[in-house]
Amino acid sequence: MTSHTTHTDPVILEMRSITKEFPGVKALAEVSLRVKAGEIHAICGENGAGKSTLMKVLSGVYPYGSYDGDIVYQTEVQQFKDIRASEHAGIVIIHQELALIPELSIMENIFLGNEPTKRGVINWAEARQRSAELLARVGLREDPDTPIKEIGVGKQQLVEIAKALNKSVKILILDEPTAALNESDSQHLLDLMLGLKAKGITSIIISHKLNEIEQIADSITIIRDGKSIETLDVKADGVDEDRIIKGMVGRALESRFPEHTPRSAKCSSK
């Protein structure tokens, strides 16, 4: 029996012909994307290709009605009016600019706006216990009462993931998660993503670090100039960095480092 049939890998998310315009700019033109349940799906593309815009459409930052096309999640067309609506459905996005409050503790950040209550009063004992469990799941040994500003950005990223796990995340979206991390923090994060995958959580990762994509992604959708160009199956298609770059820039690169650097080649996420 093969384990990888359509029954074991149902499509959890489909974005169909997503078009998003800003005044004078078509940021996305008929972009389509299919993500299987339980996979790590990477989105690659040069700077300004539309990757972050697509994820903002998915997470309700750009609400239903502000774009054309359909978001089909767990076989139903969704009409997310804001981030809260997508989070309620189990889709959680972690932006590059982390949404943590530095002065508050790890525990307070995890439960912000989502505190466990008992008879209308915040139940801090339960919050502390759940914090400890969530932190253990992401491999953080910090005291839940530690202020966020006292831990490094690598650990802050893990707190964001703990916060997502508290929201019963089904699809975790990470926008350039390792951009500000050192090598060991990056590797810990990638290992954690593989660990979450083993527990059935689907992830979508936007990254320009192609060696990391190659290491953890099951499939890669390449976006170029606001259009979806292709989706590659990493194992079956024997995908390597040069193949990804070819899709991103539209040609094979004789030299990985061109003589002049075009404006769009800067490595940021927007």
How high is the pLDDT of residue 55?
A: 94
Which pLDDT value is given to residue 96?
81
Q: How far apart are CA 195 and CA 191, in angstroms?
A: 6
Q: Which residues, in sequence order, are bridge partners of residue 206?
A: 43, 175
Phi, psi of 135 (to 5 degrees): -65, -35
CA 155 to chain centre: 17
| Domains of the chain: residue spans and CATH | 11-90+170-265 (3.40.50.300), 100-168 (no CATH)
Low-confidence ranges of the chain (pLDDT < 50): 1-7, 266, 268-270
Give the per-residue pLDDT at 115.
Answer: 87
Mean pLDDT of the chain: 89
pTM of the model: 0.86
Residue 94 phi, psi dihedral angles, 5° rounding: -110, 110
- For residues 148 and 164, give the distance between their C-alpha atoms in angstroms, rounded to a whole number: 16
Q: What pLDDT sits at residue 264?
A: 54
Residue 84 and residue 129 in contact, taking contact as beta carbons nearer than 8 Å? no
pLDDT at 54: 96
d(CA 221, CA 209): 14
pLDDT of res. 269: 45
Q: pLDDT at position 5, please? A: 41
